[in-house]
Copies of this chain bind each other. A is one copy, B any other.
């Protein structure tokens, strides 16, 4: 058995959006840009699946600094890399004085 976890500290690039999967499950999506060592921008598309968490994150907005951990899925198409993160923890660290209740979930 093994475990792989991604940790991201960065800023939410634009307002998160609620979307629906093909089988009508509500998810929350947002993205974070990261400049790597080579000064290339990597985009991390983050998805929150848990419905209770989504409800508690209505205040999440563009520009907030967040600490995110989750599972990274990488796909490639036409030799371009796409990074998706299934979020399991999210905590705001700057941009809004969120209450502790909201931060932890």
Interface residues of A (CB under 8 A from B): 1-11, 32-37, 42, 44, 65, 67, 69, 71-81, 83, 88-89, 91-94, 97-98, 100, 104
B69 touches A69 (CB 8 A): yes
Work out how many copies of this chain go into the complex: 4
Across-interface contacts of A74 in B (CB, < 8 A): 74, 81, 83
Across-interface contacts of A98 in B (CB, < 8 A): 1
Across-interface contacts of A8 in B (CB, < 8 A): 2-4
Q: Quick one: which of B1, B36, B65, B80 contacts A92, CB cutoff 8 A?
A: B1
**Those 10 A-B pairs whose CB atoms lie nearest each other, nearest first:** A76-B76, A2-B10, A3-B9, A2-B34, A5-B7, A76-B79, A1-B93, A76-B81, A4-B34, A74-B81
